[in-house]
Structure 1
Amino acid sequence: MAFAIITRVFAASLALAGLVTAHGGGGSHQKPLQVDPDADWATRHMAEEHHIGNFDPASFFTLHDFDDNGFWDQQEILKFYGMEDETAKDVPQSKKDEITREILKLMDSNENGIVEREEFMAFVVDKKGTLPDFGTGPGHHWDIEMEYEIHHWEKYHDENTKEEDLIHPEDIAHFKLHDDLEDEAERLEQMERQAIVEQNIPAKFRRDT
């Protein structure tokens, strides 16, 4: 178990290592699409999170059917509304409940607690409905590296950025995350090497030194 944790953390730290190289390695970086401020939530979400300006309802549904099983469960709804992202850590459960409740109310015509593809298409195409804006942002649902890429790096940096240029609060926080992951990986690796991990011994079996 401990080794598996170390492996996951260490892999994560390696994936995040070399930030400037990874983001500024000469590849093409898309700039955020300009979106009408009065555009509906789905349009803004697709532009800001996916850099997609033209899409149809079927594409939107498929893109957010994360497990590709033909329907949105309540966890998927919360995910594409950004409720699993770090930025939503202070969103109260009551707000999350409101999101799923309202979406199901709008689309779940057979009242089975999920939004099936046909139900979504009927809502958007037949009823000309749009996904509501709950005031919780554009719906972050990428991993931490991609979120940094599309919401900060592409706006303020490019392939010519040097390490000394990364001074924005978002840059500092991202580098700190790298350091924290590496520190955690090192700590777990050291624990794994110990024959006995003192912290795992119940207090009643420990001898005072």
Structure 2
Amino acid sequence: MTGLHYDRYLREVIDFLEKDQHFREKLHNTDMEDIKQGKLAKELDFVSHHVRTKLDELKRQEVNRLRTLIKAKQDLEGGNDIAVDHQALLKQFEYLNHMNPHTFEVDDLDRLIKSATKDLENYDKERHEEFKRYEMMKEHDRREHLKTLDDEDRKKEEEHYEEMKKKHADHPKVNHPGSQNQLKEVWEEADGLDPEDFDPKTFFNLHDTNGDGFFDEQELEALFTKELEKIYDPTNEEDDMVEMEEERLRMREHVMNEVDSNKDRLVSLDEFLVATKKKEFLEPDSWETLEQNQAYTDEEMREFEEHLAQQEQDLNQKAVDLQKQRDELQRQQEQLNAQKIELQQGCYCRFTVKLTRFIFYSC
């Protein structure tokens, strides 16, 4: 998974384009800069009719999905300001040409490549910020919980917290991601092979699970499971699985930065073999895990808590203002009810007088 909201569409388009021999060869022989400039997209004109037909179908399905999302959002918001809402939503879907919803054209492929390239470049940065907020909220909730305890229970809770931190940090050495030691451990424990027979090319072919000649991000992340098991136990409620997945992504990001020389977010066999000859592969530095790298600074935590306090204050003020509005509306309603009763009583009195006079004169 790329983490993009159009991940499925992106992957299906790529999968079908790679079924075309001409396009597959162009894809593997075109450098990333040319791909970004749209040169690869022009090769769409030369793919087989069968592939083009399937791409048309995929685009129609994606357009229908977007229309369903837009309709659901409009319904959720009560259908107000539909035209503006429609345009605002379409800004999120610049990876296809929605003005032509029926056929997949060169422009669609160009948009998809450029959007995915831009969004993926920002993905890790946004993920770091999201994880930082998660960690700060986790610490904030812990501090707020401590405030609800008496001195004795607070002391016990703090001791337990420090004990868990120490226990979590007491784990086997974590190998540097992508190093010879790390890959040999996978070779031995996951593949069941003799570490003395470790061969980088054979290793690559074993773990290139889709056989396309590249390690994609998911194939790389799968290589780190053994390292993560040294730190995290999914059966232990004390271990945070969000942190485990962040550690996995940090490892993948690090290896990509070190090995992916053309920055296409794929590791080719050649790139992999070149990396295995570097000093960093044979004699790597130690790997610092998340517990050794706090995601936020004390200043960021202070600002975060101030922001939360301000949000709470604003919400409380809104609640006060809404209560005042409610009280005022209730007062006005009571005033209207009183006027209504007074008016009804006045009408009744006048009717009674008229009726009395009518009876008197009739007699």
TM-score between the two structures when normalised by the length of structure 1: 0.40
Structure scoring higher RCO (CA < 8 A, sep ≥ 6) equals 1
- Higher helix proportion (structure 1 or 2): 2
TM-score between the two structures when normalised by the length of structure 2: 0.24
